[in-house]
Amino acid sequence: EVQLVESGGGLVQPGGSLRLSCAASGFTFSNYEMNWVRQTPEKGLEWVSYISDSFSTIYYADSVKGRFTISRDNAKNLLYLQMNSLRAEDTAVYYCVRHSRSYPFYFEYWGQGTLVTVSP
Amino acid sequence: EVVMTQSPATLSVSPGERVTLSCRASQSISNYLAWFQQKPGRAPRLLIYGTSTRATGIPARFSGSGSGTEFTLTISSLQSEDFAVYYCQQYNNWPPWTFGQGTKVEVK
């Protein structure tokens, strides 16, 4: 059974930093592309960042470019999102999302999410 | 960026009714469209990909159709467990991958 378990969310002040983790199990993590997607009541679902299986390709949403860094540890089956210079508008539930195995790649499995709150 | 627009925002229906949800893309996305269901406090769950292919374990009462810029999710006979928010998402032109704003299916 595919499982994605996020952790690391919490309350942080504006300008602060937080690192989210996503522990993957039930599949060969190193074979799959991964994403972070966030959700707010105001903006709905927003894709945040993507990383290829081999680390060779990384993308960011314009809203987080230069502040967030995605990475992965294929030996430990872990996905990360380092979030710096956090703003109030980064407050959201953050989901770890796995792509499908074959092209075209759709968002197949989602973790349960972790809440990030940016507030003084 | 491809903008996805869903309609209506809210749909009030009774169990057993047939439900049709719409999703429009701001430019052609071929058939690279997915639908997700989300219940309160839960993560989105993949229902359909490739416009019309049901994901593993999804009941046959869910069906998708369309191509290009106009897409539809149909629930043939709404069950109590189907009351939820439904999102469409395009994966033809990326990054970014983009979502519609959602349609809430509520009890009439």
pLDDT tens-digit readout, B6-56 = 999 999 999 999 999 999 999 999 999 999 999 999 999 999 999 999 999
For residue B97, give the nearest of A44, A47, A111 by CB distance.
A47
- Using an 8 Å CB-CB cutoff, list chain B residues near A105: 91
The length of chain A in residues reads 120
Percent of chain B with pLDDT over 90: 98
Partner A contacted by B45 (CB < 8 A): yes
CA-CA-CA-CA dihedral for A108, A112, A116, B1, to nearest 10? 20
> Are the CB atoms for A20 and A37 separated by under 8 Å?
no
Residue A35: predicted pLDDT: 97
User: d(Cα B7, Cα B20) in Å, to the nearest integer?
Assistant: 10
Residue A116: predicted pLDDT: 98
pLDDT average, residue stretch A57-64 = 97
Q: Are B91 and A111 inside 8 Å of each other by CB? A: no
Question: How high is the mean pLDDT of chain B?
Answer: 97
Q: Are A47 and B102 inside 8 Å of each other by CB? A: no
CB pairs under 8 A between A and B: 60
Residue B58: predicted pLDDT: 98
H or E segment to which residue A114 belongs: strand A114-118
Q: Is the pLDDT of residue B66 over 90?
A: yes
Interface test with B, best of A4, A40, A46, A107 (most B CBs within 10 A): A107
* Residue with tokens 């979030």, as numbered in its chain: A83
| Structure token digits, residue A52 | 């290829």
pLDDT average, residue stretch B49-65 = 97
pLDDT average, residue stretch B89-94 = 96
Q: Is the pLDDT of residue A103 over 90?
A: no
Phi, psi of A88, deg, nearest 5? -55, -35
For residue A104, give the nearest of B55, B91, B96 by CB distance.
B91
Instruction: Give the distance from residue A3's alpha carbon to the nearest chain B alpha carbon, in angstroms.
Output: 12
Q: Which residue has the higher pLDDT, A41 or A59?
A: A59
Query: What are the b/e assignments for B77-101, b being 16+ CB within 10 Å?
Result: ebeeebbbbbbbbbbbbbebbbbbb
Outline where A8-114 has alpha helix (H): none
pLDDT tens-digit readout, A73-93 = 999 999 999 999 999 999 999
| Closest to A96 (Cα-Cα) out of A44, A47, A58 | A47
- Using an 8 Å CB-CB cutoff, list chain A residues near B100: 44
- Using an 8 Å CB-CB cutoff, list chain A residues near B45: 110
Instruction: Give the distance from residue B100's alpha carbon to the nearest chain A alpha carbon, in angstroms.
Output: 8
Residue B11: predicted pLDDT: 96
Instruction: Give the distance from residue B72's alpha carbon to the nearest chain A alpha carbon, in angstroms.
Output: 18
pLDDT average, residue stretch B88-93 = 97
Partner A contacted by B44 (CB < 8 A): yes
